Structure 1
Amino acid sequence: MSIGRAALTRVCGKPVGPIGYGMLGLTLPAPFPEVKRDDALNLLKKALDQGANLWNGGIHYGTPDANSLHLMRHYFEKYPEDAEKVVLSIKGAFSIKTGPAGSPEAIRASVEEAFGVLGGEKTIDVFEMARVDPNTPIETSVKVLAELVKEGKIGGIGLSEVSASTIRKAHAIHPIAAVEIELSLFTPDPLKNGIMDTCHELGIPVIGYSPVGRGWLTGQFKKVEDLPANDFRRTHFPRFKAEAFDQNRKLVVAVEKIAERKDLKTSQVAIAWVARQGAIPIPGSTNPERVEMNSHLSELTDGEMLELREALDTFPIAGERYGGAHEKLLNA
């Protein structure tokens, strides 16, 4: 279950640290908490200073006028010297309302939008289709992305939430720079469905999003009432629903025991577990202290990894990851 990984890997030929930074929470519109631009820039700077130089954002992370790309432009206008230090992965060709758009025209439009917003302040090292378009063969989508690499619009091609067979089909058309998947103690599925094995076989770096289970593995939630009634997780994600809460809390308790024994936070154990699978975890936080803490990789012994595997077997997770229409787009 644990293969370990080198302390340093490369994405598109550029070195990245063992932990990256997920930018989703920095630009979400209301009703999510607002993060002021200067605060967001400071969080990004702190992450980079701690070695977390793989930054993962999306065109749909916010509004058409204020998303990850706009934030990146502001950051690199302020810190142009950091442009070569950061490996930027941007998801696009996707709309929260209408879903994935993998046609050649849609992909080109998405990349051109990203390219234009960045305004030359930073290159797009990896462009990811946020989800696979069920109406467009993956080979068709990858072919146009390969053209965009050749044209210098993007550095490499990323895939997100794809199956092992899709990875192989895409990689046969053009080398894939990275595959982004949800990977955590709450979502160990890629270890069982061939995704991780395929990426390791083909030498494709794996980016693990939601490594702390959307906050489950921070240890903050001991009862469902700890989440505000209007919290997006409580209202939209099945694993935070009242009927699943007590079952899912059992795994958290098991992880907390290891964390307490090692004088670590529960999230540090969770992130270390993802890294031990051979992935680059990309925790996201708007708390400066947590950003700093999350950026440092803790160590887990083989015995502790075995203990966590037994906990996974003993306390199966209740509830789907997303539920509804979005669930159907996973592992496509």
Structure 2
Amino acid sequence: METKQLGNTGVNISAIALGGMPMSLSSRPEETQAIATIHRALDLGVTLIDTADSYCKDESDKHHNEKLIRKALQQYKGDVSNVIVATKGGLMRPNGAWTRNGNPDHLRKTIRESFEALGGEKPIDVWQYHAPDPEYSIEASLAPAKAAVEEGLIRFVGVSNFSVEQIKRARDVVEIVSVQNQYNPWYRLPELDGVLKYCQREKLTFLPWSPLGGSRRVGSLKDISEIAQLAQEKGVSIYSIVLAWLMAKSPCIVPIPGASKISSIEDSVRAVDVKLSSEEVARIDGATSSLG
């Protein structure tokens, strides 16, 4: 598996990550299937797993995905010492909805709960502030993360759904290693709002969430003729083409496609071996420029 450096940390991560969210929502698979999927990802060389305290059915089910990942890592027969688990905090799931909560007291509490959910024996590898809450300043919301780093509960800190200005403010509070924003053929804002360029210049890892468009749009990828044609030409899936396109956009990009079955992560990993020329990238750019 090709690897990349996580931010400026000196720690290497796989060029494709595993997104854990589909394994814990209301449509979640059986636990045995979810664990088998995580194990297959590890077999294939995936060393970055993305999760969140809010990857669950509702508030009564909080931290489900983190606990699932911990169980899978504990049961894995191979070496997991180089596996990085990146979690997030700052979203709530009342009755299955998604709401923001940047209250420092809540974040302090959920950081501790995530630490315990992930095993409680070593610092959280990467803790990311899930989304800025306009009710609280970025400085106030990230103060608990800084304190948790000093306390040894968190190793590295990242942010999610942040603008360039917000990233800069976050970096004044605590060292930031990664930025996780939406980026896919339908949502190319990171190319336009300066975030991708900023991450590349500052050597921050950019983690595109919903890289394949999410459950609502992934089925429409086959309708994008240039993507379908390139997939046929190269003998790979349309999903591999999209992930390869994202990786070709910048060396700082590490896609985090979600998976809940073995075949999905196997297909995603194949994207690492798909190399697109600048002309092929431009073809996809043109075909997706009017989507949204």
Determine if the TM-score, normalized by the shorter chain, exceeds 0.5. yes
Tell me the matched-pair count: 280
**RMSD value over aligned CA atoms?**
2.2
The answer for the alignment partner of 1:326 in structure 2 is none
Query: Is the partner of 1:52 in helix, strand or coil?
Result: coil
The answer for the alignment partner of 2:99 in structure 1 is 99
Percent identity of equivalent pairs? 24
Matched-pair contact (CA < 8 Å) for 1:9–1:18: no
The answer for the alignment partner of 2:254 in structure 1 is 280
Q: CA deviation at 1:48?
A: 1.4
Structure 2: runs of 5+ lacking an equivalent: none
Q: CA deviation at 1:170?
A: 0.8
Matched-pair contact (CA < 8 Å) for 2:222–2:238: no
Q: CA deviation at 1:76?
A: 2.8
Matched-pair contact (CA < 8 Å) for 1:16–1:87: yes
Q: CA deviation at 1:171?
A: 1.1
Instruction: Give the Cα separation in 2 of the matches to 1:15 and 1:256.
Output: 32
The answer for the alignment partner of 2:56 in structure 1 is 62
The answer for the alignment partner of 2:13 in structure 1 is 16
Output aligned runs, 1:31-46, within 5 Å.
32=27, 34-46=28-40
Label 1:217 to 1:271 Cα distance change in 2 as closer, same or farther (>3 A). farther
The answer for the alignment partner of 1:294 in structure 2 is 268
Label 1:50 to 1:81 Cα distance change in 2 as closer, same or farther (>3 A). closer
Label 1:276 to 1:216 Cα distance change in 2 as closer, same or farther (>3 A). farther
Moved more, 58-67 or 34-43: 58-67
Query: Is the partner of 1:158 in helix, strand or coil?
Result: strand
Structure 1: runs of 5+ lacking an equivalent: 1-5, 222-247, 319-332
AA of the residue aligned to 1:48: L
Instruction: Give the Cα separation in 1 of the matches to 2:132 and 2:32.
Output: 34
Instruction: Give the Cα separation in 1 of the matches to 2:118 and 2:265.
Output: 24
Matched-pair contact (CA < 8 Å) for 1:62–1:68: yes
Q: CA deviation at 1:117?
A: 2.0
**Residue 43 (structure 2) pairs with residue 49 (structure 1):** yes
Q: CA deviation at 1:104?
A: 2.0
Instruction: Give the Cα separation in 2 of the matches to 1:129 and 1:154.
Output: 12
The answer for the alignment partner of 1:132 in structure 2 is 132
> Deviation per CA, 1:24-81, whole angstroms, max 9, x where unpaired?
111112xx2x311121111011111212211001111114446111102212331386
The answer for the alignment partner of 2:238 in structure 1 is 266
Label 1:62 to 1:105 Cα distance change in 2 as closer, same or farther (>3 A). same
TM-score by length of 2: 0.88
Matched-pair contact (CA < 8 Å) for 1:73–1:121: no
The answer for the alignment partner of 1:175 in structure 2 is 175
Instruction: Give the Cα separation in 2 of the matches to 1:303 and 1:162.
Output: 30
Q: CA deviation at 1:287?
A: 2.7
Query: Is the partner of 2:49 in helix, strand or coil?
Result: strand
Matched-pair contact (CA < 8 Å) for 2:20–2:258: yes
Question: Which of 303, 316, 320 is the aligned partner of 2:279?
Answer: 303
Instruction: Give the Cα separation in 1 of the matches to 2:248 and 2:122.
Output: 31
Query: Is the partner of 1:62 in helix, strand or coil?
Result: coil
Moved more, 77-86 or 167-176: 77-86
